[in-house]
Amino acid sequence: MSKNVFDANDSMIVKVYYEQDFEGFVGDFIDSYFVQDGERTLVYLDGSLRAFNGTYYAPVSNPNLTFDELVRQYVRELSLVDRKRRAVLTPTSPSFYANFYKTLERLCMLTEDEAELFRNPDTDLVFGKTKVFRISTGQFESYSHKFRNLYTLDFDVADDDQEPKVWTEFFDAAQMDDKQRLSWWRQRAVVVMRDRRHNRIFYNFGNPRSGKGTTTSIDTAFFGKNCAAAVPYGVGSNAHLSSVIIGKSLLTINDVKFDKRTSTSLIRFLLNVIGCDPITINPKYKAPFDYYPEANLEITSNEIPAFKGNLSGMEDKFVFNVFHRDENMPVDLTLRDRMLETMPHIIRKAVKMYRETVESNYAFDTDQGKAVREQFVESASGVRRFADEDCELSERYNDSSLAMYRSFLKYSHEHGESRISMAQFVKELRTCFLGKIDHKRITVNGKKITVLTGIHRIGQGDTVNDPTPKPPRSVVGISFTNADIEESDDDVPI
């Protein structure tokens, strides 16, 4: 509750804010400085305050510097007293500011519906550095806080459809055919438009000096340093490092090397980002909160990814862009800078490609990219390779799960693969061929036997009604322990 009181001593209007009505003071403060056309231009979203700066809602990185002077200016015209006309907390008191910021954040908190206006801006609009481009009309418009956009590009859209000659030089240097060039432009289109519905990881693969870094530099330049971030390797296992993803439109992982340190936590992080699943952020000195990633993901490496084990279907999420440079050709060290000089035209071309990209159902794959994916899948899972090389799939088949596991262990021993448990083997096999392989118990001659249906080893196993008998416990060259398997087939949960 608050009210206006005329003070005869100094002939001024004194606004009285009771201590339990501190929200009234903060609300009036917001109305004085952060309301335009009847709408508030200060919001609290994803752990930070954002204020409309004339072009977009920019994060308020240091509220103390931003608001202290405004508060001092505001209270010069006020007298803060309690019910007995005694002065309450003064603007110089630390407890005053602690209460002020806490109340400010609470009053500016958005509902989920309001947050969607920020996270999903009008896809017909491209927010350039100084003006807005409407795709449907091809016209430029003035900025307005009512657009509710969180980000802006670091360049404006070009005024014409010129295609600079340097583009051809770049594609020729990377030895891209027409289909690869089309895929390259489609990817730039979804990055510019911040479209995350495609659920893909763009993976730039090739030899050094072949154009991978130039592509990453272009995508990073779209948004500048504030809205694009290079992700450290440890981000998947460190809640503090995860804060780097907040408010970013593009996340890049550069010069990835795959070794024993490339852990499952990185796989989990990649899946969370492309699936827009919540990631727990634990900022220092603040309460943790769940954040929904809003960024496209781009990886650059000279190596084919070497994630090991169960990929959980992640292999289909990769879009491999293959770059190649003839080592006999000289390297043009000016090519990247000359490409970056054409950014307004790159944005215009990408924007024009966006509708076609969506209508193509995000058809990014190329023949070269598919070939790399096949190598990736083959190298990722020893279980998958075993099934592809030594087994057949058909709904008519089954095979003893224990016999299959022992054959897999023999295969792993011969090919230098790491040993895994029977439960992990069954789980990974079913995941690789989701919906095609089942694990069940059947009765044969009055005895229950655990089998894998939908698959059998080539030349062994049979129909579901006649499963392979349980094999002997020894396999040439390999010894088994109870840590690997038990005597009964029934030890693996269905």
Amino acid (one-letter) located at 173:
A
Describe the strand order of the beta sheet including 462-463 as a list of residue ranges: 438-444, 447-457, 391-400, 462-463
Q: State mean pLDDT over 459-486.
A: 47
Task: Please count the other Cβ atoms lying within 10 Å of the Cβ belonging to residue 457.
Answer: 19
Task: Please count the other Cβ atoms lying within 10 Å of the Cβ belonging to residue 77.
Answer: 11
- How far, in Å, CA of 62 to CA of 58, rounded? 12
- How far, in Å, CA of 289 to CA of 268, rounded? 18
pLDDT one-digit tens code per residue, 338-355:
999 999 999 999 999 999
pLDDT one-digit tens code per residue, 34-81:
999 989 999 998 778 999 988 889 888 777 778 888 887 787 666 666
Q: State mean pLDDT over 165-191.
A: 95
pLDDT one-digit tens code per residue, 251-264:
998 887 776 556 56
Task: Please count the other Cβ atoms lying within 10 Å of the Cβ belonging to residue 42.
Answer: 19
- How far, in Å, CA of 95 to CA of 348, rounded? 51
- How far, in Å, CA of 381 to CA of 408, rounded? 12
Q: What pLDDT is recorded for position 280?
A: 79
Sorted by where each starts, the structural domains of the chain and their CATH numbers stand as 2-114 (no CATH), 165-377 (3.40.50.300), 381-491 (1.10.10.10)
Strands (E), 116-272: 125-127, 132-134, 139-141, 201-206, 228-230, 250-253
- How far, in Å, CA of 391 to CA of 386, rounded? 7
Q: What pLDDT is recorded for position 479?
A: 41
273: its two tokens:
């980002």
pLDDT one-digit tens code per residue, 415-459:
777 788 898 888 888 877 877 888 888 877 778 888 898 999 987
Kind and range of the H or E run holding 288: none
How would you class 206 by CB atoms within 10 Å of its CB: exposed for 0-12, middle for 13-18, buried for 19 or more? buried
Q: What pLDDT is recorded for position 229?
A: 87
The contacts of residue 455 (CB under 8 Å, 6+ apart) are: 387, 391, 392, 393, 394, 397, 398, 399, 404, 429, 433, 436, 437, 461
Kind and range of the H or E run holding 335: helix 335-340
Angle between helices 401-415 and 422-432 (to 10 degrees): 90
Q: What pLDDT is recorded for position 115?
A: 87
Do residues 99 and 23 lie in contact, with contact meaning Cβ atoms separated by under 8 Å?
no
Angle between helices 94-108 and 22-33 (to 10 degrees): 70
Do residues 85 and 174 lie in contact, with contact meaning Cβ atoms separated by under 8 Å?
no
Q: Strand 296-301 vs strand 438-444: parallel, antiparallel, or unpaired? A: unpaired
Q: What pLDDT is recorded for position 492?
A: 44
- How far, in Å, CA of 81 to CA of 88, rounded? 5
Whether 1 shows a pLDDT value over 70: the answer reads no
Higher pLDDT residue, 348 or 270? 348
- Determine the Cα angle at 388 with ends 383 and 394, to 5°: 105
Q: Which residue in this structure is represented by tokens 């004339």?
A: 54
pLDDT one-digit tens code per residue, 180-217:
999 999 999 999 999 988 889 999 988 888 899 999 99
How would you class 445 by CB atoms within 10 Å of its CB: exposed for 0-12, middle for 13-18, buried for 19 or more? exposed
Alpha carbon distances (Å) from 335 to 11, 213, 386: 70, 11, 45
The stretches of 132-211 forming alpha helices (DSSP H) are 165-173, 178-192
